Amino acid sequence: MALTLTNYQEIAVRDLLEKTRKLLRQDGSKRMVFKAPTGSGKTIMMAEFLARFADDKTLGQCAFIWTAPRQLHEQSREKIEAYFAESRAMECATFEDLDDRQIGENEILFFNWESIRQNSNIYIRENEQDDNLSSVLMRTREAGRDIVLIIDESHYHAQADTSQNLIAAIAPKLTIEVSATPTIQGDEIVRVDTGDVKAEGMIKKSLVLNEGFRNAVENGAIQSDLAANSDDMVLGVALKRRTELADAYKRAGVSINPLLLIQLPDRQRQADDDRQAMIVRALKDQHGISVENGKLAIYLSADKQNLENVTRNDSEVEVLIFKQAIALGWDCPRAQVLVLFREWVSPEFSVQTVGRVMRMPEPERGYYDDDLLNHAYIYTNLADIEVKEDVGRDYVTIHTGKRAPEYKPINLPSVHRKRHREQTRLSPMFTKLFLVAAKDSGLKKQIQVTGQKIQRAYISDWRAESVDEMAGQSVHGNVQAEAISDMDAQRLFDYFVRGNLSPFYPEDRSVGRVKETLYQFFVQEFGLDRMADFRTIIDVVLSEHNRRHIAAVIDAAKIAYRTETERREHELEDDVWNVPERETFGADYAETSAVKSVMQPFHSNERWRSETFFIKFLEESDNGVLWWYKNGARDAQYFAVPYTDGFGDAPFYVDFIVMMKDGSIGLFDPHGIHLADFAAKSDGLRRYIAEINKKGYKVFGGIVANTDTRNYTGRWMVYEGKGKGAKDGEWDTWDQVGI
């Protein structure tokens, strides 16, 4: 299955492979932890890692066991099988599928973890047929294969005593624990940062708690005004938000019907059944949502209705009732609103609770222009809500500020980084660059087309260097160069391309890109037919005279490709910016009185004293400030000006945008003169102001500082000179901020 990995996924896969090589070279049983956030694509990253593992013959012969809690192993198997459907680099098996009652090389045995922990299980207990896990492992080792154990969602079970005993009994050469919240460190750890996942638009920016109601943190727990309200009230505001999201998707021209999840506790008692019946009745009688009209789905162990297409983005189902027990591994990216009632089993939010609504429905697209769609929402009348550390900082936001209704658009030109996914594998851009490099080098005149054959020496080199390079395939030793088959020629062609791909990893997509590029070159320059003359093209490419010339052009195209992708990483996109309609903030922010803030209520974490005192300066009653906005520091939602950071263009997110009563706009940033990027950012901001004023805007400002850098009781000054001329404590090139 051809998938394009994101940059963070590619980096993680390479890190997994590198650390696996290191651990397998060491004596004894080793353990590696793979920590990646929910929604980051853990299974896809593991599948690509396994594909490269199978392709790397330096790792020796290995057999794999993949375990997961509940029925998640079945979902994982389906994804892994689909990933290997074309390449067949790995075989996926259940216990019944095993040949010769052993796990083959590059074969994955999938197991439900709870089942193999039980000594009474048929696969664990001894039997007359000697047909159990212990015997399978013994035969696998006798065949010369090391065992690699993969424990998915390892935090659920891997640390229990029975689990540790089972791991010891399996005695893997390497154990890989996969989890968003691992409980151990391991001999090695591979981490995927939540910020990197958000930067790719794979998961939502945040989970907003009880928006529209005041939330506060007291004694380490969140107190919400919604806690005093009824279940009907909670359900009503959640459904209203679902409707607002549906309308926003329609305005964006996207066919997505957002799903509201109602999570029931796992407890089994009559009161729980009564609660479910009450919810179903309220949805039908008060909101017109029922199983009968297809808008309600139920996913309970003994009651499953309307689930056929519920995960499809355009499904007509609007509400799904489910329990925590089925939440693990369930994937429905259009789920965006979560409801928990006060009788829920625990007031504690964890990754497993919020993970169901954190995926973006179109990760290949990234974030939407309407920021309402880039967040998930939770509504609950739980009191004393606890947010676990694994989600508190990275996911949950408890405060919301809204733009003042009297705000009038200012339409400031702004920039943000373009989103690219071309760094780690070859895109169609490679073909264009190769054809340019071929023309510049005169490749057409350098190579010979007539009478070319694959040389016997090349076949011998291939056999000597990499007999098993093509996943176990090989050219037979007694083959004659003149009579080599088309299939063997294709394998040698693959080998040639793979050998010339570094530093790009030689996965199938990139190999195919180079092969198609070479075919296109010969079609374009020599008039050969892609289908009819493919063997002629291979013979020409692999002939002794031509190989070095073609390899040189591939190398030149790779250099140009890497240069272009690095340039694109610093490529900026233009925007027209206005103060966002709403913003969300986490528990480390608190509501702060700020009358002139255009965002109300204003929330601050008071992290930087310079910003705190500059806000006090803006809030003074006798100045000309109409309103001010404290800017953020990421993506197109926030205002940025371009500057040069030493590597190329970059966005500078100026801290404060200030609207004056006379209609002029101030751009101010309390940026320390001691910082290495002071000069570049100051010059970029001043250049932006000069250019925008030529277009009719009335903008002023720059980087600001206080003459009393300790207590901020002095004058606020704005820097007017060239960045490199700024000197700490010398104010002759600064002017007093005139507001």
Q: Where in the chain is the domain with CATH 3.40.50.300?
A: 7-194
- Say which residue, 477 or 574, is predicted with more confidence: 574
Q: What is the pLDDT of residue 272?
A: 62
466 pLDDT tier (thresholds 50, 70, 90): very low
Strands 399-403 and 599-600: antiparallel
Pick the range with the lowest mean pLDDT from 70-74, 394-398, 478-482. 478-482
Q: What is the pLDDT of residue 465?
A: 47
pLDDT for 441 beyond 80: yes
- Say which residue, 463 or 96, is predicted with more confidence: 96
Q: What is the pLDDT of residue 472?
A: 39
618 pLDDT tier (thresholds 50, 70, 90): very high
Q: What is the pLDDT of residue 226?
A: 78
Q: Average pLDDT, stretch 546-552?
A: 92
7-194: CATH, from 2.40.30.10, 3.20.20.20, 3.40.109.10, 3.40.50.300: 3.40.50.300
C-alpha dist (Å) from residue 478 to 456, 463, 472, 481:
10, 12, 18, 10
- Spatial distance between the Cα atoms of 171 and 3, rounded to a whole number of angstroms: 34
Supply 172's token pair: 């893997």
Tally Cβ neighbours within 10 Å of residue 719: 25
Kindly report the three-state secondary structure assignment for every residue of 504-529. CCCCHHHHHHHHHHHHHHHHHHHCCC
- Spatial distance between the Cα atoms of 180 and 39, rounded to a whole number of angstroms: 9
Q: Are 44 and 16 in contact (CB under 8 A)?
A: no
Say which DSSP state 10 is in: H
Return the half-sphere exposure (C-beta side, CA atoms, 13 A cut-off) of residue 367. Answer: 23
Q: Are 598 and 579 in contact (CB under 8 A)?
A: yes
**Burial (CB count within 10 angstroms: exposed 0-12, middle 13-18, buried 19+), residue 554:** buried
460 pLDDT tier (thresholds 50, 70, 90): low
pLDDT for 381 beyond 90: no
pLDDT for 330 beyond 70: no
pLDDT for 507 beyond 80: no
pLDDT tens per residue, range 331-349: 788 999 999 886 655 555 5
Q: What is the pLDDT of residue 121?
A: 52
> What mean pLDDT is reported for the chain?
84
pLDDT for 255 beyond 60: yes
Q: Where in the chain is the domain with CATH 3.40.1350?
A: 581-736
pLDDT tens per residue, range 468-503: 343 334 444 444 444 578 888 888 888 888 888 877
pLDDT for 418 beyond 50: yes
CATH of span 201-397: 3.40.50
Q: Are 153 and 68 in contact (CB under 8 A)?
A: yes
Q: What is the pLDDT of residue 186?
A: 87
Closest by alpha carbon to 211, among 222, 198, 226?
A: 226
pLDDT tens per residue, range 696-736: 999 999 999 999 988 999 999 999 888 888 888 788 889 99
- Spatial distance between the Cα atoms of 184 and 37, rounded to a whole number of angstroms: 16
Q: What is the pLDDT of residue 32?
A: 95
Q: What is the pLDDT of residue 688?
A: 97
220 pLDDT tier (thresholds 50, 70, 90): low
The four Cα atoms 602, 605, 611, 615 give a dihedral, to 10 degrees, of 30
pLDDT tens per residue, range 118-175: 554 544 545 445 567 888 899 999 999 999 999 988 766 655 565 677 788 888 999 9
pLDDT for 88 beyond 80: no
**Burial (CB count within 10 angstroms: exposed 0-12, middle 13-18, buried 19+), residue 166:** buried
Residue 195: φ, ψ to 5°: -60, -35
- Spatial distance between the Cα atoms of 23 and 327, rounded to a whole number of angstroms: 34
Q: What is the pLDDT of residue 122?
A: 46
DSSP conformation letters of 310-370: TTSTT-S--EEEEEGGGTTT---TTEEEEEE-TTSS-SEE-HHHHGGG-B-S-TTT-S-SS
Closest by alpha carbon to 709, among 724, 730, 725, 723?
A: 730
pLDDT for 110 beyond 80: yes
- H/E run at residue 148: strand 146-152
Q: What angle do CA 579, 583, 588 make, to 5 degrees?
A: 135
3-state SS assignment for residue 125: coil
581-736: CATH topology is Trna Endonuclease; Chain: A, domain 1 (3.40.1350)
